Structure 1
Amino acid sequence: MDRWQAMRIFVRVADSGGFSGAARQLNMSPPAVTRAVAALEDLIGTRLLTRTTRSVKLTEAGGRYLEDCRRILADIEEAEAAAAGSYATPSGLLTVTAPVQFGRIYVLPVITEYLSRYSAVTARALFVDRVINMVEEGADVGVRIGHLADSGLTATRVGTVRRVVCAAPSYLDRYGAPKEPRDLHDHAVIGSTSVGGLAEWRFGGGRRTAVTVRPRLICTTIDAALAAAIDGHGIVRLLSYQVAPALAEGRLRTVFDDQEEEAMPIHVVSSDGRRAPAKVRAFIDLAVQRLRANPMINADNP
């Protein structure tokens, strides 16, 4: 067995957490998978996996080697794809990641339009409310909200969103609108763990300030916090795109409009850069065009 195949087997064992799972995925026998990893360990002269009766775990050296294997195998796949012509025509599996609600509302329509254009592509929508390691989780393209860390990703800015504080007209009519951020101490606050900043809300405007809030209702999803606010149970702080439909319909009203924090950028990102295959380049082109044209997310041109 050649070294590259042994590396592929090792990566599959690490990803599946065991030899049996990897064997099933690779359509190999468990002993053959075990022998391949053992031969690889002998070849490089170090232990990559710690084996117990119940689990298989990476050693420290194995963790480092796993990342090297992913990079090397990706380069091989890239070379093979280029030779096969996939850099000219979109084909294969495309994985796109985005925050859950933003992905469902704004990215999914781009994905479905993209699939209608390119019949040789299949897509996986990885919508999660966390920043993932795109290489480790196999994502080709991501949509990220907020200022980007220096991660080496290729990024194209497509717009901005804001944090807005709002409540239902019924709540504001009954309890009055807070005039200053500190007035929130006298109001029912709805918190969402999905958007972070549960304990402290920051404000900008003429003077920057931060207020510690004590939510009477804490929701684990944005949809639940939004529904509670629309039903008049308190004041909520969410991102502008999350509340845009309810604001447009008059089911929510904003407060502290002149004291909002600085808007946060939205970027379409990828890790491939100029070497991106056609499936990635074509999707980024479409996503940038559609998101920049969407007024519901305050899209703008950089």
Structure 2
Amino acid sequence: MTIDVVVSMRVFTAVVDAGSFTGAADKLDLSRGMATRYVAQLEEHLGVRLLQRTTRKLSLTEAGVDYYERAIQVLTMIAEAESSVAQEASVPRGILRVSSSNAFGARHLGLAITEYLRQYPGVQVDVTLNDRVVDLVEEGFDVAIRVATKIDPGLVARKLASSRLVVCASPGYLKKYGTPKVPEDLVNHHCLTYAYVSSPNEWRFRREGVEQKILVSGSLSGNSGDILRSAAVEGLGVTLQPDFLIYETLRERKLVRVLSDWETDDLAVFAVYPNRKFLPPKVRSFIDFLVERFGPEPYWNIESGSS
């Protein structure tokens, strides 16, 4: 006969403590018959009688006294182990491996991680910045911060904040070459393109539900938004960049937004992680921290009326 020894121990010690099967059954939310059955099965399993039963009272046998003392020790150890594991599972600790793009990571994650570590000193963060899409499981990352229009199906992601693409150029460039009034004007401008998208030379615009795809060209294309921003500031051309990368440059008027009355692709900053189930506290706390820090209205947000 197979029995649950730990449960039977709990019932047995509860019977002893209560002085009756009825009292133990009430404490454990069992029927009196079920409590009696657990103790009987435990005695049969051990091959000894633990309790002397009379119509008036229960008393422990010699074997019962010894088993009760040992059972209390075992149950205490189990309770302590469960409490320790539960506490461990609720406290963020350990090494947290994070991946992010160069542009977003260097500009926004550094200070965020510093503040996070002040709140959670039990965590050590190992952050890697690159602009390729990493394989979280294969490369051992706990979470990746990705900026995209959407996340591929099959990945678990949580949106941290919104972003938008902004067309901009330096005041000097616009003075020299003129300001584009409609998207078609970009065909006659030097455009600086980001290489890590599916169609770098195709810029999309929408107005009143109608989409236009403009093929642009220029003397510089690269996989670094920082390089493209710097080139634009120096007057090399027009660039299409996310607001989280250029918001300070726009506010300082080193770059000027153009075509602001046309919609461009909306982006979002996502935290992507391998598995939704049993998310470690270090990952959950980090994602929650970033949601609070960056959302719902991120500090890099450029008002639609900006020029």
TM-score (norm 1): 0.66
1:164 alignment counterpart: 166
1:264 alignment counterpart: 267
Q: Distance in 2 between matches of 1:107 and 1:157?
A: 15
Q: Distance in 2 between matches of 1:95 and 1:237?
A: 31
Matched, 1:225 2:228: yes
2:26 alignment counterpart: none
2:31 alignment counterpart: none
Q: Distance in 2 between matches of 1:101 and 1:84?
A: 38
Q: Distance in 2 between matches of 1:208 and 1:96?
A: 36
Q: Distance in 1 between matches of 2:168 and 2:155?
A: 36
Cα pair distance change 1:245/1:197, threshold 3 Å: farther
Deviation at 1:117, TM superposition (A): 2.3
Matched, 1:200 2:202: yes
8 Å CA contact 1:106–1:291 kept in 2: the answer is no
Q: Distance in 2 between matches of 1:282 and 1:189?
A: 41
Cα pair distance change 1:219/1:133, threshold 3 Å: closer
2:121 alignment counterpart: 119
2:25 alignment counterpart: none
1:98 alignment counterpart: 100
Q: Distance in 1 between matches of 2:170 and 2:112?
A: 31
Cα-to-partner distance string for 1:131-175 (whole Å, 9 max, x where unaligned) = 22211111112222221111241x322221111111001111121
Cα pair distance change 1:293/1:264, threshold 3 Å: closer
Deviation at 1:220, TM superposition (A): 3.9
- 1:1-302 aligned at under 5 Å gives the runs 83=85, 86-146=88-148, 147-153=150-156, 155-194=157-196, 197-206=199-208, 207-292=210-295, 295-298=298-301
8 Å CA contact 1:159–1:297 kept in 2: the answer is no
Q: Distance in 2 between matches of 1:239 and 1:195?
A: 13
Q: Which runs of 5+ in 2 are unaligned?
A: 1-83, 303-307
Deviation at 1:85, TM superposition (A): 5.1
- Code of the aligned partner of 1:227: S
CA RMSD, 1 decimal: 2.2
How many residues are matched? 217
Cα pair distance change 1:203/1:183, threshold 3 Å: same
Q: Distance in 1 between matches of 2:220 and 2:153?
A: 36
Q: Distance in 1 between matches of 2:257 and 2:248?
A: 13
Larger Rg: 2
8 Å CA contact 1:190–1:229 kept in 2: the answer is yes
Q: Secondary structure at the match of 2:112?
A: helix
Q: Distance in 2 between matches of 1:130 and 1:192?
A: 13
Cα pair distance change 1:126/1:84, threshold 3 Å: farther
Q: Secondary structure at the match of 1:112?
A: helix
Q: Secondary structure at the match of 2:282?
A: helix
- Code of the aligned partner of 2:224: T
Cα-to-partner distance string for 1:259-301 (whole Å, 9 max, x where unaligned) = 22241222223223241122112211211111116633439xx
- Code of the aligned partner of 1:240: D
Q: Secondary structure at the match of 2:253?
A: coil
TM-score (norm 2): 0.65
Q: Secondary structure at the match of 1:260?
A: coil
Cα pair distance change 1:253/1:113, threshold 3 Å: same
Query: Taking every aligned residue pair, what percent have the same amino acid on both sides?
Result: 33
